[in-house]
Amino acid sequence: MLYYNTHYPAAIIMTLNDLPNQKHNHKQCVSNALAMAEQVCLERGVQLTPIRYQVLELIWESHKAVKAYELLDRIKPLQMAAKPPTIYRALEFLSEQGFIHRVESLNAFIGCRCSNAPHEQLLLICKNCQEVEERTAPKVMQALSEEFNDAEFIVHSKAIEIHGLCSQCAASVATDLSD
């Protein structure tokens, strides 16, 4: 589909120039995301407690969507007292602040690559590597808004989740077939 290839304005991308499923300096992604979260919390006067910070850091380990129970497993060695509600409260905080997004169809979370202001998302979910690429897809969102206006439908949140193969996995499938 055409809109997969349309690039959104560079200004919207705060943390990354590269697509997540391509080779890039991921350490840079992580340090940008964490530094930005610290800065935003300071500005908003909210607390980025150690547990919130650790959950955010774990989510940013990769661009794959992470489930709450996986986070709990990984945080236990760091915070022995961590219980499911601890994780859920941290996830709720991070979502509210716009640092992460919930991927509804996977019941999992990803770090936001765009902006801390509320925004619409087109999520391209790779069924092979589980990486999720977030795009703002302004043309798609505009077309949808027109549709909602016609329907007189009041939208509370707008996120489109598409399942398929990322470019890297698609390329390796193509290589396998040609062997």
Residues that bind Zn ion (CB under 5 A): 26, 29, 112, 114, 126, 128-129, 166, 169
Q: Name the residue nearer to Zn ion (CB basis): 19 or 68.
A: 19
- Name the residue with tokens 């290589």: 175
* Under 8 Å between Cβ of 135 and 122: yes
Q: Name the residue nearer to Zn ion (CB basis): 19 or 79.
A: 19
CB of 151 to Zn ion, least distance (A): 25
Q: Name the residue nearer to Zn ion (CB basis): 74 or 119.
A: 119
CB of 152 to Zn ion, least distance (A): 28
d(CA 62, CA 144): 30
CB of 84 to Zn ion, least distance (A): 25
Residue 4 class from Cβ within 10 Å (0-12 exposed, 13-18 middle, 19+ buried)?
middle
Sequence letter at residue 70: E
